[in-house]
Amino acid sequence: MDSDVKVAAVPAIEFLGVDKRFAARGKAAEVLAARQVSLSIQPGEVVSLIGPSGCGKSTLLNMGAGLTRPSAGVVKVRGEVVAGPNKHVAFMLQKDLLMPWRTISENVELGLELRGVKSDQRRQISDRLLAQCHLQGFGPSYPHQLSGGMRQRAALARTLAVDPAVLLMDEPFSALDAQTKMILQQDLARTVAEAGKTVLFITHDLSEAVALSDRILVMSERPGTIVEEITVDIPGRDNPLQRRKHARVNELVSRLMDLLKLDAQAQVH
């Protein structure tokens, strides 16, 4: 093979012509939640998905995780069709969903335990990740003993423990106060950059999307489809606190507001 020929990388995750229909409660007709969604995310990319409430963003993540199947089209992870829960994918939600009867270390180790990893190896991994997520020394604590931000850090450590290729994140910081949110954004960005993880991130916070992402995909109202792709050509994705200070941030946020027609919605209300 010619050494100058570059072989394209297999996308970490891709959606190809995906539709999703749901049975509507009390109605004969189905509801079309997502329509002809096609997107491709390369290994190591962080891509944010934004759009109106109810446009199918979370539905796409559920299909990416194998929790539900598309009505049409296919979802692939690492080139393989997703037909059920996939070990290469991990999900992080707005709620930390830590089990209150397990310690923080035991919560972080849950996925490893389910995969049959030996206890000493599980503890080594959880100790490393808790330190990485600024929770060193809190392994023996229980969830109720931690603040909301600390619990989300523990949830991030649990997500990373199974070493997924793709992180699917559904507004993981939306319930936190502004200062805690920015600190956790910084932690996530640094961790993702160091580990080379691929992220598909849902957010309603346009500044958050700009601060964290390589690209931002904008969805239409239901049935949701991708209507715009914006490349965030600002340096420093691994340092969102610094990136927020860049002169182009407001320009990109304004562009996203225009695409979402937020000014028009505000005038109506």
Q: Where are the domains of the chain?
A: 9-88+166-181+198-269, 96-163
**3-state class (DSSP) for residue 6:** coil
Class of domain 9-88+166-181+198-269: alpha beta
Q: What is the pLDDT of residue 1?
A: 46
Which of 109, 195, 204 lies closest to 159, judged by CA? 109
Query: What value, to the nearest 5°, has the Cα angle with vertex 262 and ends 208 and 201?
Result: 30
The pTM assigned to this predicted structure is 0.89
Q: What is the pLDDT of residue 266?
A: 44
Q: How far is CA 138 from CA 124, 135, 191, in A?
A: 14, 6, 19
Query: What value, to the nearest 5°, has the Cα angle with vertex 211 and ends 206 and 216?
Result: 60
Residue 70 in tokens: 């598309």
Q: What is the pLDDT of residue 261?
A: 83
Q: How far is CA 33 from CA 52, 55, 228, 260, in A?
A: 12, 7, 18, 18
- Mean pLDDT for each 10-residue chunk of the chain (269 residues)? 59 96 76 94 96 92 94 95 91 90 96 92 94 92 94 92 93 88 90 92 95 96 94 94 93 94 50
Displacement of CA 220 from its chain's centroid (Å): 19
Residue 45 in tokens: 């990319």
